[in-house]
Amino acid sequence: MNKTTKRLSLTNGSEENPIVDVVNRRFFLRSAGLAAATGAFIMQSCIKDHDLGPGGTGAVNLGTGDIGILNYAYALEQLEAAFYIQVIATPYSGITDKERRFLTDIRDHEVIHREFFKAALGAAAIKGLSPNFTGIDFNSRASVLGAAKTFEDTGVSAYNGAGILIQDPGYLLLAGKIVSVEARHAAIIRDLLMPNTISFAGDDIIDGNGLDLLKRPSEVLPAIAPFIYDTIDASGLPTP
Amino acid sequence: MNIFKIIDEIQQVDGDAVERLQHATRRSFMTKFSKTLTAAAVPTAMAGIFNKAYAFTPGAIEVLKFALALEYLEDDFYKMGNAAPNLIPAKYKAVFNQIGKHETQHVNFLKGALGAAAPAKPAFDFSAGGAFPNPFGVFDTFVFLSHAFEDTGVRAYKGQAGNLMAKEDEPLLDYALQIHSVEARHAAKSRDILSEIRNNDRIKPWITLDEGSPKPVYAGDENTIQGGVQIIGIAGKSLEAVTESFDEPLTKEAVLAIVKPFIK
C-alpha cells in the first residue's frame, strides 16, 4: 500500500518558501556574472526553452553552461527530496529511532538543497519534475534503504563528475559544499544496511587509488531516467 | 608557426619555462626539432612535450603537495592505530582498516602524480606535544582525532578546488573531488562511531552549526550565506538543518594551523 503510484509534484505545498523570490534575482544576477540586461534576456530564453524540447515533445531542457549544470543538480535534488519526503511520510515497518532521525535529517538536507537551487536559478529553473517511485516498496526497509543508497551514491558521482564542467568558481565551491554532505549521507545509509563493515566506503565504489565514483551527466541521466516521468533534454550541457 | 616565439611568450609568464623544457625534453627536442620536422607535425610534437613539462599548473602542484602532507598525516595515524594492540574494538576494526587502506592509496596516488616534486614525509607526534595523551592507547582519543582529521581533510580539499580550474588541471580536479568525497564518507562513519561510544546523539554524521572539537576544525561551518545569499529559514527548515546541508571550506593557512601541532 505504501507504493507510490501517483505522480507527485516535487516542489509543492509546505516545502515552499517565500524567501525564494528575493534569493532568485540577486543570486542569479550576481553569480552568473551577467549584466542585468543580459541576464533578463537569458532568463527569457531559458523560460522559452522549457516549452520546446527536441521536436517540441515537451522534454525538460536543462539549458546550457553553468545554468545547465545547476539545473542538472536541481533535478537530482528534486528526486532525492521527493524520495525522502515519502520515506518519512510513510515510514517502513520496523524503522528504528536512529534510522528515523537520520532519514529525517537527510530529508531536510535534500529539501534545502532543492529549494536552494530553485532559488539560485530563479526564472531559469526547470519545472518541478514528476518522480516515478513505482519500483520502490516504501513499506520495506531493504527497498527504501537500497534506493537511498542508489540515490546518494549517484548524487556523489554526479557532483564529482560535474566539477570540471563548471565555469564559475563560486558554483564549483557550492557543488563542493553539497557533494560532501551527499557523501556523508551515502556512507551512513550504507552503514545502516551493513553496520560496521567496509560498506560505508566499500570496494564496490572506491577504486584501487582510493578514489570515489565519478560520472558525467551522460552516464547519470540514463541511470535516473526510470525514476522520473518527465523526459530530460541535456543536449545543451557542457561536455568534457 | 614559430615555435621559438611561443617559447618566448611562455618565458614571459614563466621564467623557468625554457629550463624546464630543456630538462624534460632535451633529447627529444634536439632530435625532433633540429632535423626533418614538417610544419604540420610541429603542434603535435609540442603538445607531447607540454604534456610532460607542463602537465599541471604551478598552482595545482602546490595543491598536490598540500594534499600529500595531509594524507601523510592520516596514513601514519591509521597505520599506528590499526597496528596498536588492544586499541580498536573488534567491532570497529574493519572500518578503520578500510579508512587506513584509502589513506595509503591516497599517499601513493599523490606521490605518483608529483613524481620527483613530492615532498618527503614529515615525522608526526599524534599526542600534539601531550595535548592528546596516549592516542594509540585510548580508543576515545583515537576516534576523536580520527573524526577531526577527516573533517579537516574534507574542508581542506574543498578549499582547494578553485585552484584546479585551469584546463590542463582538469584531471586533478576530478581526482581531488574523488578523494574529497571519500574523506567525507570516512568522516561520517568516524563521527558515527564517536557518537556511539560517547552515547551522544548531538554528534551526527554531518556537522551541525560549528559544533565539534577541536574548535578550529569546525570554525565557520555555521555559515548560512550560500551563493551570496542568506538562506536562514529556507524551506522552513531549522538553522541546524540549514548548516548541516552545506560543508564549508577551510583555507590552506587554517588547515596548516590545525595540523601543525601534530608535526614534529
Domains with residue ranges and CATH for chain B: 3-53 (no CATH), 58-209+247-262 (1.20.1260.10)
Report the residue from B92, B226, B241 with minimal CB separation from A109: B241
pLDDT at residue B148 tops 80? yes
The span from the CA of B62 to the CA of B24, in Å, is: 19
The span from the CA of A93 to the CA of A138, in Å, is: 9
User: What is the reported pLDDT for B70?
Assistant: 98
Asked if B202 reaches chain A (Cβ–Cβ under 8 Å), the answer is no
Of B238, B148, B152, B144, nearest to B200 by C-alpha is B144
pLDDT at residue B50 tops 70? no
State the Cα angle at B263 between B261 and B264, rounded to 5°: 105
Distance from CA of B8 to the nearest CA of A (A): 29
pLDDT tens track for B191-235: 999 999 999 999 999 999 999 999 999 999 999 999 989 999 999
**Which residues in chain A have Cβ-Cβ distances shorter than 8 Å to B92?**
196
Set of cell numbers at residue A234? 541535456
* DSSP secondary structure string for all residues of B62-109: HHHHHHHHHHHHHHHHHHHHHHSTTTS-HHHHHHHHHHHHHHHHHHHH
Q: Do A105 and B206 touch (CB under 8 A)?
A: yes
Asked if B147 reaches chain A (Cβ–Cβ under 8 Å), the answer is no
Burial state string for A27-42 with b = 16 or more CB within 10 A and e = fewer than 16: bbbebbeeeeeebeeb
Asked if B90 reaches chain A (Cβ–Cβ under 8 Å), the answer is no
Span B238-251, mean pLDDT? 98
Place of cell 576494526: B93
Lowest mean pLDDT, pick from A109-118, A150-159, B51-60, B90-99: B51-60
Of A108, A116, A100, A199, nearest to A153 by C-alpha is A199
User: What is the reported pLDDT for B193?
Assistant: 98
Using the Cα atoms of residue B240, residue B242, residue B246 and residue B248 in order, give the sign of their dihedral.
Answer: negative
Of B124, B116, B117, nearest to B75 by C-alpha is B124
pLDDT tens track for B178-193: 999 999 999 999 999 9
Distance from CA of A57 to the nearest CA of B (A): 32
User: What is the reported pLDDT for A57?
Assistant: 57
Domain residue extents for chain A = 13-229
pLDDT at residue B51 tops 90? no
Mutation choice for A interface testing from B93, B150, B178 by most A CBs within 10 A: B178
pLDDT tens track for B14-34: 444 444 444 443 333 333 333
Where does the pLDDT of residue B43 fall: very low under 50, low under 70, confident under 90, or very high at 90 and above? very low
Using the Cα atoms of residue B83, residue B84, residue B90 and residue B91 in order, give the sign of their dihedral.
Answer: negative
Report the residue from A101, A156, A188 with minimal CB separation from B181: A156
**Which residues in chain A have Cβ-Cβ distances shorter than 8 Å to B177?**
159-160, 163, 176, 179, 212, 214
Q: Do A163 and B173 touch (CB under 8 A)?
A: yes
Q: Do B189 and A115 touch (CB under 8 A)?
A: no
Asked if B22 reaches chain A (Cβ–Cβ under 8 Å), the answer is no
Counting as low any pLDDT under 50, the low residues of chain A are 1-56
User: What is the reported pLDDT for B6?
Assistant: 38
pLDDT at residue B45 tops 90? no
Distance from CA of B94 to the nearest CA of A (A): 6
Of B125, B113, B135, nearest to B65 by C-alpha is B113
State percent of chain A over pLDDT 70: 76
User: What is the reported pLDDT for B55?
Assistant: 83
User: What is the reported pLDDT for A31?
Assistant: 41
More confident residue, B45 or A64: A64
Average pLDDT in chain B: 85
